Amino acid sequence: MSRVAYVNGRYVPHSDAAVHIEDRGYQFADGIYEVSAIQGGRIIDEEAHYDRLERSLGELQIPVPMGRPALRLISREMIRRNGIRDGLIYMQITRGVARRDHPFPKAGTPPSVVMTAKRVKAQSAEMVAKGVAAITIQDIRWARCDIKSVSLLPNVLGKQQAREAGAYEAWMIDRDGMVTEGTSTNAWIVTATGEVVTRSLSNAILGGITRASLKRLAESAQIKIVERAFSLEEARTAKEAFLTSTTGYVLPIVTLDGAPVGDGTPGPTTARLRDLYMAFMADPAAAAA
C-alpha cells in the first residue's frame, strides 16, 4: 500500500506531498507539531495531544485551523488510508503561506496543516532488557521549550552528537548544572533513597504526554513521583535512570557519559513503570485519556 499524506484539505500520495516555498514553517520555523502513537489502530492519549497542540498554537498566536472533530476525522482517515495498526501520526501546523517578512502576515492568512502517518517496528526486546546509553550536552535551546515548535535545530545537533557517541539519547544540562530533558524525551531518575524524580514543568522543558500519563499511572499504583530539578551529579549517582516519550515509551538508561547508572542494568522501578505504561497502551480507554 502506497503512503498517503494530508496537505491543506487534500489527501495526496506521500511522494507528491508538498507545501509552498514561502510557507512560514519552511522559512521561519514558524509553526508547531505533534506526534502521537498509534496502537491497535487507536491514537494513544489523543485528547492530551490536542490540548498541547492548542496551547502551542495559542502561545505563538497561530489560529486554530479547525475544531477537534475535524482533526479526529482526518486522523482516522489517515490511519485507514495508510493501513496502520501500530505506528505514529505526525501533525504540523504553521502560520501559513505569505510574502517573506518577519512580522506576522495580515489577518486572514490561513494556517497550513500537514499530516503524515507511518508504521513503526516495536522496540526490540534486547533494547528493553539491556537498556540504552545516554550522554550529556549543554542545553543551547531558546527560552520557550514548553512550546512544541518545529524549530528543532539544537535538538537535531544533540541527537546527532548522541548517535556519533554510540548513545540513544543526549540529556541537556542548563547553566546551573541541572538536567532539563533529552533531545526528544523527558528525563527521569530513581535516587539512592528511592525517589522517582523528573523535572517540574516550566518554560525549560516540554510537557511530555507520556510523562504526564506515566505520572498518573504511577500515582494510581502508589508510586510517588517527585517533580523537581536534579543535577548532573545526582543523575550520575542515581540508582536508576530512564526516559519517556511518545516513541520510546519508557526506556531504561544504563550508562550516562560512558559510566554505569546504578549497577549498569535496568532497575526494578523502571521495569515496573514500563509495565504500567505498556498495560495502559493496550487498554482501549487509553485513546481517550
All structural domains of the chain, each given as residue ranges with its CATH number in brackets, are 4-119 (3.30.470.10), 125-288 (3.20.10.10)
- Does pLDDT of 25 surpass 80? yes
Average pLDDT, integer, range 79-98: 97
H or E segment at 60?
A: helix 46-60
Angle at which helix 46-60 crosses helix 209-220, to 10 degrees, equals 130
Average pLDDT, integer, range 239-258: 97
Q: How confident is the model at residue 39 (pLDDT cuts 50, 70, 90)?
A: very high
Residue 232 has a pLDDT of 98
Residue 195 has a pLDDT of 96
For residue 64, what are the CA distances in angstroms to 28, 75, 121, 160?
Answer: 19, 16, 32, 33
pLDDT, tens digit (0-9, with 9 covering 90-100), for 186-210:
999 999 999 999 999 999 999 999 9
- Does pLDDT of 33 surpass 90? yes
Residue 131 has a pLDDT of 98
* Max Cα-Cα span within the chain: 58
Reading phi first (left if > 0) and then psi (alpha if -120 to 50, else beta), residue 179 is in beta
Residue 192 has a pLDDT of 93
Length of the chain: 289
Residues 92, 70: Cα–Cα separation, whole Å: 15
- Does pLDDT of 289 surpass 80? no
106 is known as an active-site residue? no
Q: Which of 106, 118, 121, 148 is catalytic?
A: 148
Q: How confident is the model at residue 182 (pLDDT cuts 50, 70, 90)?
A: very high
Q: Which three cell numbers stand for residue 244?
A: 519517556
Residue 123 has a pLDDT of 85
Residue 121 has a pLDDT of 87
Mean pLDDT, the chain, whole residue set:
96
Residue 52 has a pLDDT of 98
Instruction: Name which of 8-17, 114-123, 137-146, 183-192 the model is least confident about.
Output: 114-123
Residue 276 has a pLDDT of 97
Which residue type does 193 have?
T
For residue 63, what are the CA distances in angstroms to 27, 34, 124, 137, 245?
Answer: 19, 16, 40, 35, 27
- Does pLDDT of 270 surpass 90? yes
Neighbour tally for 9: CB within 10 Å: 10
- Does pLDDT of 252 surpass 80? yes
Residue 170's DSSP bridge partners are 135
Q: How confident is the model at residue 288 (pLDDT cuts 50, 70, 90)?
A: low
Neighbour tally for 40: CB within 10 Å: 13
Average pLDDT, integer, range 71-80: 98
Instruction: Name which of 36-40, 257-261, 281-285 the model is least confident about.
Output: 281-285
pTM, two decimal places: 0.96
